[in-house]
Amino acid sequence: MGAARMTQASGHGEKRSRREEAAISALLACPTIDAAAQQAGISESTLRAWLRDPAFQRRYREARRQVVEQAIVRLQQAAGDAVMVLSAIAGDDSQPAGARVSAARTVLDQSFRGMEVLDLVERIEQLERAQSGGTE
């Protein structure tokens, strides 16, 4: 009888886990908590209770992070094409002057921002090496 209870508890936990995963997917896809609860097939109060649970919050945060990381990868893949378009517009005398200036300004602004980010990354890495006692 004890083993049967453990199986039931395990089964119930697995069912809740599946429902929580469905809720996380719905939260990522729906504009409101109410809509997410409906899509996941649970009550809004249940979803709100789960959103207060630190373990659920961690899983939801990780799922959001994965969505953002996937979007960043797609943006990075498109960045080369975007730079080529901006460069083509900036160098095309048949384009209106305003469009050429805007494209050139965008290329320069993004180049400077990129350098700032790379400089910050390098500084952080140096600080981390110094803090860990490395001399690289």
The pTM for the full model equals 0.59
Looking at the domain assignment, is residue 10 inside a domain?
yes
What's the confidence (pLDDT) of residue 11?
A: 53
What gap in Å lies between CA 19 and CA 26, rounded to an integer? 10
**Structural domain count of the chain:** 2
47/83 same-domain check? no
48/81 same-domain check? no
Looking at the domain assignment, is residue 105 inside a domain?
yes
Looking at the domain assignment, is residue 28 inside a domain?
yes
pLDDT tens digits in sequence order for the chain, 136 residues long = 444 444 444 456 678 889 999 999 999 999 999 999 999 999 999 999 999 999 999 999 999 999 999 999 998 899 999 999 999 999 999 999 999 999 999 999 999 999 999 999 999 999 999 999 865 5
> H-type helices in 1-136, by residue range?
2-29, 33-40, 44-52, 54-91, 97-132
What's the confidence (pLDDT) of residue 136?
A: 52
What's the confidence (pLDDT) of residue 133?
A: 83
- pLDDT, tens digit, for every residue of 2-28? 444 444 444 566 788 899 999 999 999
What's the confidence (pLDDT) of residue 6?
A: 42
40/79 same-domain check? no
Helix (H) or strand (E) holding 1: none
Looking at the domain assignment, is residue 63 inside a domain?
no
132/81 same-domain check? yes
Looking at the domain assignment, is residue 12 inside a domain?
yes
Q: Which domain holds residue 46?
A: 1-52
Looking at the domain assignment, is residue 131 inside a domain?
yes
Looking at the domain assignment, is residue 133 inside a domain?
yes
92/135 same-domain check? yes
- Whether residue 107 contacts residue 86, with contact meaning beta carbons closer than 8 Å, is answered with yes
